[in-house]
Each structure stands twice: as C-alpha cells, then as structure tokens.
C-alpha cells in the first residue's frame, strides 16, 4: 500500500530494500524480474502472500516514559490529574527511570507498527538513548515548565549537539516549552533562540482546555494561539499539540503560518478536554497529524485504535458520517505526520528513494475478513497484533511479532523493579 500520484492506493506487487532506502516498489513483473536478475544470488527474497506492506505509522505526540504511570491517575480532570498525581510522581523520577519507561513504551509502539514518534519529556537524552538502542525513529523534545527553566537553554544546546542527527539521522532534537500557561513569554522567547541557532523545530501544548484559554486571556488578552504567534513560536517548524478550543481566527493563523496541529482524540476524551475541530482545520488547509499522547492519559500507544477513534469522534462532533474518512485519517498517521516533522517524502510513504520505514501486516485474520476496502479495514478494524514485521531505515526491528533488538521480558522486569524502587523512594 502506498501513496503515489497516478497509482492505486494499494496493489499486488513487490518492495525491495537496499541499505536504508526503498529501491523498488512495483507491480510490473518485468521490473521485478529485472531487479532480481541485476541483484543476483545475494538478493534475499521473502514471500508476502496474504500480507500487506505499508509505511510505518508515525505517532506525533507522546510522553513515552509515562508508561511508568499507566493506570496510576485515572478518571480525573486535567489540572487535578497534573497537580495532584502526575507532577508529584514525576518529581521522584531520575534518568534511569525515564530510560526504563521509554524502553517499555518504544517496545509497545514497535510491536504495534509505529516506526517513528515525537516525544516531549524530562531527561530527554535518556529517551534518545532508548530510541537509539531499539532502532525506532524519534524526535525527542526536552520539555520545560516555568519553575524549572534555569539551565534549560544550555542543557538543550548540548543535547542538540550530541543527539540531533544521531544514529544515521534517526534521532532529531526539538525544543519543547510545555504550554503557554506553564511558561512565561520571556522563557518561551529564550527557548526559541535554540530553534534559530540550530534549525530545529518547536513542540508545545496549545489550547488543550477551556481553563487554559481563559487563563491566557486573563493574563495577555489573547487566545493561546494568538499569544504564541506574537511570541514568534510559529516562525519555526512547529507542532501545536491538542488545539481543542480554537476560534476561527486561531484556525486561520495556524493554517496561514504552516503550523502542524496534532490531534489526540483518546487523551482529550479521557480527560474531558473536548474535541479538536479537525474537520474545520483541514477545510482551511491546515496540516493535521495524530498522536496518542502519553500512556497515563490514553492509556496505550495503539495508533490503530487512535485512528479509528479519531475518525469516529469527528463524525459525532460534526453530525456528518462522511467527515474524516478512513484514507484521510491514515494520511494523518503517515504522509501528513512526515510533513509535520520535516520528513515529507522521506518517511510515511512507500516510494522508491524513501527511507525504508515499513511494516508488514498479516491480513489473514477474522476481523480483517472480508476485504471490500483495505484502507477501511486497516483504520476501522486493524490491531497491533496484526503486525508481523517492522523495519526502520532498512533494519528489521520486529520479526514475527517479536522485538529484534530487545527482550520484552527483561524490559518488563526492569520496569517492575524500578517501580518498587520509586515506591521506596517516596516513603
């Protein structure tokens, strides 16, 4: 399955990989035979009968190490969730905890067909290290809030120098002010100097709740989107995460300035934050991708279910069953997401010359039968367990449903051990 001008959405054919790139995507027997002949006996061939090869999914918003808090703080509104449960728990974490939580979340993503993710968290260098070891692609964003800004610029500059472009450019580093209500204008402006100096992007929560919108209006007399525009945030490649409560002017600003909006339907539902106006944003030409948010507010990292929920929720919100059809929401997890992080045409596509980030699904499943429309089956029926093989940069990272670069049992045991240490640390 691919997205190429003038080609069907999916067809029977072959995909060939050479190094970290896709060398061939074709349904022409003549081209396939010629490729095999030219490569000779060294060519490895896998039979894909009953299987689907497609681009890997891209999770545009995560706090992956919050796997440590999965099921810890459920059924609470956002601010009590943060102030009474999450922030006190996070205050006890160290870099090793972050690494362990990241390993667990990355394993979950890879096994479910996610080949790239954008993360925003503390100790982001440890998230980068976990990503490097696992083989996944990642944009890691060191986060800050206003009360913990001292030294942020210096630390993040060092991290950019060390990790941006690491592991054959699998790792990139962006800047991440947490939100306009937790960071001062001066701090946000100062952090943007890192974008200017290094050519990196910025990742920020925006207009997630009505209380945030009211707070920003009281402080600055503007909406969060207007406030961030005036601070210069949107002068750089930017991910505006959530964007649940937007005015018509906000949507025009986001579209006009080329800001990519990240839709997090399940997290927004669970925290009762609201429903992002995705259909209207798309109508205005805005780029919209999709993410799970963190495992403590979702509570899983299942992009298949996120796509399904995201599509259904927009239909309910608009009263229009035609809104956000399956193919469009799949693009939000592939081509649109790739564009959002500056990798348009590089990932999120099955095309010759693109990076070999792809997944193989077993279609021989009851819930995928019959198949009148493969894309609809994927978005509305597929599950992480359907994924058999995952490749990132031409390297297999999941083989026959098991991690190629790690032992899930060992990862799970280390998480459980660290949670015991955390419990004792808090006593």
Residue 401 tokens, joined: 């449903």
Peptide bond into 370 cis (omega under 30): yes
Nearest to 267 by CA among 411, 73, 410, 100: 73
Q: What residue numbers does the annotated binding site for substrate cover?
A: 90, 178, 208, 293
- Three-state DSSP at 171 gives strand
Residue whose entry in the numeric block shows the structure tokens 């029977």: 12
Cα distance between residue 258 and residue 280, in whole Å? 15
Q: What residue numbers does the annotated binding site for Zn(2+) cover?
A: 61, 63, 205, 293
- Largest separation between any pair of C-alpha atoms in the chain: 70
Handedness of CA 145, 148, 149, 153 (dihedral sign): negative
Residue 421 tokens, joined: 């240490």
101: Cα within 13 Å, side-chain hemisphere: 29
Cα distance between residue 60 and residue 84, in whole Å? 27
Cα distance between residue 277 and residue 74, in whole Å? 25
Q: What residue numbers does the annotated binding site cover?
A: 61, 63, 90, 178, 205, 208, 293
């Amino acid at each position: 399955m691919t997205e190429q001008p003038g080609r069907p959405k999916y067809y029977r054919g072959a995909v060939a990989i050479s190094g970290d790139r896709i060398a061939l995507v074709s349904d022409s027997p003549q081209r396939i035979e010629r490729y095999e002949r030219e490569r000779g006996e060294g060519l490895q061939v896998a039979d894909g009968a009953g299987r689907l090869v497609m681009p890997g999914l891209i999770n545009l918003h995560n706090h992956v190490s919050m796997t440590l808090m999965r099921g810890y703080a459920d059924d609470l509104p956002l601010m009590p969730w943060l102030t009474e449960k999450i922030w006190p728990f996070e205050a006890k974490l160290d870099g090793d905890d972050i690494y362990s939580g990241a390993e667990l979340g990355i394993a979950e993503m890879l096994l479910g067909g996610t080949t790239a993710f954008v993360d925003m968290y503390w100790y982001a260098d440890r998230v980068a290290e976990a990503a490097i070891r696992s083989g996944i692609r990642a944009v890691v964003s060191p986060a800050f809030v206003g009360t913990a800004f001292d030294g942020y610029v210096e630390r993040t500059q060092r991290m950019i120098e060390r990790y941006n472009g690491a592991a054959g450019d699998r790792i990139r580093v962006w800047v991440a002010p947490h939100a306009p209500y937790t960071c001062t204008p001066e701090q946000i402006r100062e952090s943007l100097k890192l974008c200017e100096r290094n050519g990196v992007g910025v990742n920020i929560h925006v207009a997630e709740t009505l209380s945030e919108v009211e707070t920003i209006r009281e402080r600055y007399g503007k909406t969060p989107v207007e406030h961030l525009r005036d601070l210069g945030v949107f002068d750089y490649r930017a991910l505006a995460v959530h964007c649940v409560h937007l005015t018509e002017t906000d949507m025009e600003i986001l579209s006009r300035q080329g800001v990519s909006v990240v839709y997090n339907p399940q997290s927004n539902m669970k925290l009762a934050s609201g429903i992002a106006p995705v259909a209207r944003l798309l109508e205005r030409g805005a780029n919209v991708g999709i993410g799970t948010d963190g495992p403590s507010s979702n509570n899983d990292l299942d992009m298949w279910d996120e796509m399904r929920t995201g599509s259904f929720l927009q239909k309910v919100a608009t009263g229009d069953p035609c809104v956000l059809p399956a193919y469009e929401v799949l693009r939000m997890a592939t081509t649109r997401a790739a564009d959002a992080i500056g990798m348009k045409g590089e990932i999120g596509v099955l095309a010759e010359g693109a990076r070999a980030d792809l997944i193989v699904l077993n279609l021989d499943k009851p819930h995928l039968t019959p198949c009148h429309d493969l894309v609809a089956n994927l978005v509305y029926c597929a599950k992480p367990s359907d994924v058999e093989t995952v490749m990132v940069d031409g390297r297999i990272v999941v083989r026959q449903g098991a991690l190629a670069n790690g032992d899930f049992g060992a990862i799970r045991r280390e998480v459980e051990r660290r949670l015991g240490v955390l419990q004792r640390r808090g006593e």
